[in-house]
Amino acid sequence: MGRLDNNLKIGNEKHFATELITMNEVLKTIGGKWKLKLILALTHGDKRFNELKTFVIGISPRALSKELKELERDGLVKRLVYDEPVLLVNYQLTEIAWKLNGVIRELTSWCAWYKEAFLESQPNDWSHEVM
Protein backbone atom coordinates (compact mmCIF):
# COMPACT_ATOMS: atom_id res chain seq x y z
CA MET A 1 0.00 0.00 0.00
CA GLY A 2 1.44 3.38 -1.00
CA ARG A 3 2.22 5.98 1.54
CA LEU A 4 2.00 9.71 1.50
CA ASP A 5 5.62 10.09 2.45
CA ASN A 6 7.09 8.46 -0.59
CA ASN A 7 6.90 9.52 -4.17
CA LEU A 8 4.64 6.72 -5.27
CA LYS A 9 1.15 8.02 -4.65
CA ILE A 10 -1.77 6.03 -5.81
CA GLY A 11 -4.93 7.67 -7.01
CA ASN A 12 -6.95 6.70 -4.02
CA GLU A 13 -4.84 8.77 -1.72
CA LYS A 14 -5.14 12.01 -3.61
CA HIS A 15 -8.83 11.34 -3.79
CA PHE A 16 -8.92 10.72 -0.10
CA ALA A 17 -7.25 14.03 0.66
CA THR A 18 -10.06 15.78 -1.17
CA GLU A 19 -12.67 13.73 0.64
CA LEU A 20 -11.06 14.55 3.94
CA ILE A 21 -11.29 18.25 3.26
CA THR A 22 -14.92 17.87 2.25
CA MET A 23 -15.62 16.01 5.46
CA ASN A 24 -14.00 18.78 7.45
CA GLU A 25 -16.18 21.35 5.77
CA VAL A 26 -19.30 19.33 6.39
CA LEU A 27 -18.50 18.67 10.02
CA LYS A 28 -17.78 22.32 10.63
CA THR A 29 -21.14 23.25 9.23
CA ILE A 30 -23.49 20.57 10.51
CA GLY A 31 -21.33 18.68 12.98
CA GLY A 32 -21.63 18.87 16.72
CA LYS A 33 -24.24 17.86 19.18
CA TRP A 34 -27.17 20.02 18.12
CA LYS A 35 -27.02 21.17 14.51
CA LEU A 36 -28.59 18.15 12.85
CA LYS A 37 -31.20 17.91 15.57
CA LEU A 38 -32.19 21.52 15.09
CA ILE A 39 -32.36 21.11 11.34
CA LEU A 40 -34.44 18.00 11.83
CA ALA A 41 -36.82 19.89 14.09
CA LEU A 42 -37.21 22.64 11.53
CA THR A 43 -38.11 20.18 8.79
CA HIS A 44 -41.40 19.88 10.67
CA GLY A 45 -42.06 23.53 10.11
CA ASP A 46 -40.76 26.89 11.21
CA LYS A 47 -40.35 27.25 14.91
CA ARG A 48 -39.77 29.96 17.45
CA PHE A 49 -36.93 30.04 19.93
CA ASN A 50 -38.84 28.58 22.81
CA GLU A 51 -40.56 26.05 20.62
CA LEU A 52 -37.17 24.76 19.57
CA LYS A 53 -36.11 24.70 23.18
CA THR A 54 -39.08 22.48 23.94
CA PHE A 55 -38.78 20.23 20.94
CA VAL A 56 -35.08 19.64 21.01
CA ILE A 57 -34.94 17.99 24.38
CA GLY A 58 -32.07 18.95 26.61
CA ILE A 59 -30.80 22.02 24.85
CA SER A 60 -30.14 25.06 27.00
CA PRO A 61 -31.04 28.58 25.89
CA ARG A 62 -27.39 29.41 25.69
CA ALA A 63 -26.57 26.49 23.41
CA LEU A 64 -29.67 27.08 21.33
CA SER A 65 -28.83 30.71 20.83
CA LYS A 66 -25.29 29.92 19.81
CA GLU A 67 -26.22 27.12 17.45
CA LEU A 68 -28.91 29.18 15.76
CA LYS A 69 -26.49 32.02 15.19
CA GLU A 70 -24.00 29.68 13.61
CA LEU A 71 -26.64 28.06 11.44
CA GLU A 72 -27.78 31.47 10.33
CA ARG A 73 -24.24 32.63 9.65
CA ASP A 74 -23.64 29.50 7.60
CA GLY A 75 -26.74 30.04 5.52
CA LEU A 76 -28.77 27.10 6.77
CA VAL A 77 -31.38 28.96 8.74
CA LYS A 78 -33.27 32.18 8.23
CA ARG A 79 -34.33 34.30 11.17
CA LEU A 80 -37.69 35.94 10.60
CA VAL A 81 -38.81 38.68 12.95
CA TYR A 82 -42.48 39.58 13.27
CA ASP A 83 -43.07 42.54 15.46
CA GLU A 84 -46.83 42.76 15.49
CA PRO A 85 -48.54 42.70 17.87
CA VAL A 86 -45.85 41.11 20.03
CA LEU A 87 -42.29 40.17 19.23
CA LEU A 88 -42.12 36.84 17.50
CA VAL A 89 -39.08 35.30 15.90
CA ASN A 90 -39.38 32.39 13.57
CA TYR A 91 -36.57 30.20 12.44
CA GLN A 92 -36.84 28.66 9.01
CA LEU A 93 -34.70 26.34 6.96
CA THR A 94 -33.12 27.65 3.79
CA GLU A 95 -33.16 25.78 0.51
CA ILE A 96 -29.69 24.42 1.04
CA ALA A 97 -30.65 23.13 4.46
CA TRP A 98 -33.64 21.33 2.98
CA LYS A 99 -31.24 19.49 0.76
CA LEU A 100 -29.93 17.80 3.89
CA ASN A 101 -33.01 15.62 3.70
CA GLY A 102 -31.02 13.08 1.75
CA VAL A 103 -28.39 12.99 4.45
CA ILE A 104 -30.98 12.62 7.17
CA ARG A 105 -32.75 9.87 5.28
CA GLU A 106 -29.52 7.92 4.86
CA LEU A 107 -28.57 8.40 8.48
CA THR A 108 -31.96 7.17 9.59
CA SER A 109 -31.98 4.09 7.46
CA TRP A 110 -28.41 3.33 8.41
CA CYS A 111 -29.40 3.54 12.05
CA ALA A 112 -32.16 1.01 11.45
CA TRP A 113 -29.68 -1.40 9.88
CA TYR A 114 -27.27 -0.78 12.66
CA LYS A 115 -29.71 -1.57 15.40
CA GLU A 116 -30.77 -4.73 13.66
CA ALA A 117 -27.28 -5.92 12.80
CA PHE A 118 -25.38 -4.97 15.88
CA LEU A 119 -27.50 -4.08 18.83
CA GLU A 120 -29.58 -7.21 18.81
CA SER A 121 -26.48 -9.35 18.98
CA GLN A 122 -24.78 -7.26 21.60
CA PRO A 123 -27.02 -4.99 23.60
CA ASN A 124 -25.45 -1.57 23.67
CA ASP A 125 -27.48 0.17 26.26
CA TRP A 126 -29.04 3.22 24.79
CA SER A 127 -31.77 3.22 27.37
CA HIS A 128 -29.59 5.29 29.68
CA GLU A 129 -29.94 8.01 27.11
CA VAL A 130 -30.03 11.32 28.86
CA MET A 131 -30.48 13.45 25.78
Binding region for DNA (CB under 7 A): 32-34, 48-51, 58-63, 65-69, 79, 86-91
Give the interface with its own copies as residue ranges (CB under 8 A). Answer: 1, 3-5, 12-13, 15-16, 19-29, 31, 33, 36-37, 40-41, 44-45, 47, 51, 54-57, 74-75, 95-96, 99-100, 102-103, 105-111, 113-115, 117-118, 122, 124, 126, 129, 131
Out of its own copies, DNA, none, what residue 21 binds, judged by CB under 5 to 8 A for its kind, is its own copies
Q: Which is nearest to 97 in space by CA: 27, 20, 38?
A: 38
Q: 16 vs 65, which CB is nearer to its own copies?
A: 16
**Cα–Cα distance for residue pair 111/109, rounded to 1 Å:** 5
What's the rounded Cα separation, in Å, for the pair 88 and 40? 21
- Smallest gap from residue 67 Cβ to its own copies (A): 14
- What is the spatial distance between Cα 54 and Cα 41, in angstroms, rounded to a whole number? 10
The two counts, helices (H) then strands (E), for the chain are 6, 3
